[in-house]
Amino acid sequence: MRFDDLDQRLRVFETAYDFCVPPEQYIVVRLDGKGFTRLTKEVWQFDAPFDICFRDLMVETTAHLMQCGFNIIYGYTQSDEISLLFHPLENSFNRKTRKIISILAAEASAKFSLMQGDLAIFDTRICILPNAKTVEDYFRWRHEDAHRNALNAHCYWMLRKEGESVNTATAQVKGLNRQAKHDLLLSRDINFNELPAWQKRGTGLYWQDVEKIGFNPKSNQATTSIRREIFKNYELALGDDYSQFIQKQFLLEKNESS
């Protein structure tokens, strides 16, 4: 059978279940480290509950994903997860979900593995969101999840370091409300509110125009240019202020039409 005949007959099986995100729908992709709980604590032995070296690996992986060919306007990372907001007009690969998912999973796994010097794998899912308000709610959800997880992690690992078993520490933290968890930490002179913001709120990455001063040796004059660079925000706002930040920074009409 001729190649052209084979190609025509079999290509349909490869693309039969392709799905393309419809226009005017927002795309958010979320990546999670596969088995990172075991890897970070047992294999790589990062400090618990938070390790600045691991944070930097996740931040640099996020920055890499924002520069790997898609028009991504916001990246958010907390713990071992990354969320990426695509520009509303992004149309790479005709918005095919299999292309978006496979490329970003591969890029994240490769980048993190190279930096860490060990095999690391990310799984990926795509969220198709109908409007700007849902996008705002999505990032508020992940932001609140970071805050809740940070409080639990600090309580859990404080108890573990005091000698409690996994089961005992887990059960003790699970049975406490938010205020009781704060009080538990305070009883050991740990003020949760004074801990680094990135531990409690995650890190946001977004593009900013930066003025660069140079020098033209031919004209013997200083030159000014504007370059687009990724800004890493380790001091994200909290609560409603964060929602307003998402709305004003990424969901204004100018972003949708630019």
**pLDDT classification of 252: cutoffs 50, 70, 90:** low
Residue 60, phi then psi, degrees to nearest 5:
-65, -35
Whole-angstrom Cα distance, residue 73 to residue 31? 16
Which one, of 215, 235, 234, 233, lies nearest residue 225 by Cα? 215
- Report pLDDT for 212: 79
Predicted model pTM: 0.91
- Report pLDDT for 80: 97
Which one, of 137, 30, 40, 156, lies nearest residue 86 by Cα? 30
Answer with the residue of higher pLDDT: 257 or 79.
79
Residue with tokens 């990372």: 77
Answer with the residue of higher pLDDT: 30 or 8.
30
